Amino acid sequence: MEQKTAKELEEELLFSQPYISDGWPAVREEAEAFCEDYKAFLDKAKTEREAAAEIEKRLVAAGYRPFDHMAKTALKPGDKVYYNNRGKAILAATIGTRSLEEGAHFMIAHIDSPRLDLKPNPLYEDGGLSLFKTHYYGGVKKYQWVALPLALYGVIVKANGEKVEIAVGDKCGDPVFYISDLLPHLAKDQMSKTMSEGVEGESLNILIGSLPVDDTEASDRFKTALLAVLNERYGITEEDFVSAELEAVPAGAARDVGFDRGLIVAHGHDDRVCSYASLAALLSIEKPARTTVGLYVDKEEVGSIGATGMHSQFFNNMVGEMIALMNGGNCSDLAVRRALAHSTLLSADVAAAFDPNYPSVGDNANFAAIGQGIAMVKYTGSRGKSGANDAAAELVGKVRKLFNDHGVVYQTSELGKVDQGGGGTIAYIMANYDMDVIDAGVAMLSMHAPWEIVSKADVYMTSRAYHEFFVNYR
């Protein structure tokens, strides 16, 4: 037998991880167009409510009908339905030709992101200024949120039940809001603290006004003047903040990064980038063999709890409703459990990318890299795989083959060094249904910062990967 050269052995045996950019010219036009629409999506989806509204708008435009309208109608292959859960989470499905009890292809992403929430009684005045008290949401570095232009989004439910929508800070001509930081000249004590202690949660108070009422004898002159503005504009009083959900997010649009424009900086890539990519894949399917389901859920950043999070029974309920409408109104608990156990799910969530500024926190051989495709994450969790779903080797093998067979550039990833920390996704929740589950999503820089970075090439490749999963996974 002829002796192979070292070069031949390398080509035959080693796993060479390509950069998508190596073949970029062939797909650049399509990828650029895809990412321009993604940026437009992000600009309309600054919060989970805004994201759900934009997703619903796109579903309706693609022919999806509200599930409530189907209550007395049998579902048939090719039907497109969706359910909006409290304006914060959405399930959308394209009905397949096979029975749902044989399993579906699920893809779940979350649409909430780290931010600042207003407290129930937020408004106060101090030092000739009007301010809002906040409570940070999800895992944040508090110091990153000071000295930053902010926008306010959310809803206020008035005493009469009327709901008022708030969106201020992103439109041309809008004012912005701001959390002040301590000047360095007086920051000796602050600078001696740890980074987690340098800015305290209770000091993340948002500057919203500085003008008083004219009456110098009045108490709370600045607070009253601010409430007068809000009352004139929205018809609200101070008590209405009790029944409000208002969020502060960075003000500004998604923008290209770098002279070559290969990256995108924006708020909320985690995890609206995977939400957008999975939605695009879902909308490309017309009449699948297995029912394809996209879920866009809330509360992942705080444990997926609550009525709009992945722990909610709304998911199980909707699977049962679909089975009933496909079976003459009949559905048993066993049928739901069979459907879930025979299903496969891609947990569409982001991964941490190698950062040249912080090389010490990761194992480079097991760290995702910007520009090397969708990151497949066999397990997440912390340290000894605590809190992790650990996808079976058989499932990983099938997904790997799927990607290789259809020209999808992929990579594998962990979340940094074993002892460094960790994090999780919704994967473990769905695996509890006896379902095959694996994480796969976009690698990113500055995760959980007010502004995060992803690669256009990775966004485009991730959407291709999701499409192949919906269409060709067996």
Q: pLDDT by residue (tens digit) across 123-134?
A: 999 999 999 999
Neighbouring residues of 16: CB distance < 8 A, sequence distance ≥ 6: none
pTM: 0.95
Answer whether residue 70 shows pLDDT above 70.
no
Residue 419 DSSP SS3: coil
Sheet of 105-110, strand order: 65-66, 80-85, 89-94, 292-297, 105-110, 344-347, 436-441, 374-377, 410-412
Lowest mean pLDDT among 46-55, 136-145, 361-370: 361-370
CATH fold of 9-113+267-472 reads Aminopeptidase (3.40.630)
Residue-wise pLDDT tens digits, 7-29: 888 888 888 788 888 877 888 88
Residue-wise pLDDT tens digits, 389-406: 999 999 999 999 999 999
Contact call for residues 93 and 292 (beta carbons, < 8 A): yes
Q: What average pLDDT does range 66-78 have in this prediction?
A: 79
* % of the chain beyond a pLDDT of 70: 99
Answer whether residue 454 shows pLDDT above 80.
yes
Q: Quick one: how far is CA 456 from the chain centroid?
A: 17
The whole-angstrom separation of Cα 114 and Cα 345 is 25
The CATH number fitting domain 115-250, selected from 3.60.150.10, 2.30.250.10, 3.40.50.300, 3.20.20.70:
2.30.250.10
Query: What's the pLDDT score for residue 29?
Result: 87
Residue-wise pLDDT tens digits, 91-113: 999 999 999 999 999 999 999 99
The whole-angstrom separation of Cα 251 and Cα 17 is 37
pLDDT band at 69 (very low <50, low <70, confident <90, very high): low
Answer whether residue 233 shows pLDDT above 90.
yes
Lowest mean pLDDT among 25-34, 79-88, 280-289, 444-453: 25-34
For the chain, the average pLDDT equals 94
Neighbouring residues of 132: CB distance < 8 A, sequence distance ≥ 6: 118, 119, 122, 123, 177, 205, 206, 208, 246, 248
Give the strand pairing for 115-126 and 351-352.
unpaired
Query: What's the pLDDT score for residue 385?
Result: 87
Domain extents for the chain? 9-113+267-472, 115-250
Task: Return phi, psi of residue 214, to 5°.
Answer: -70, -30
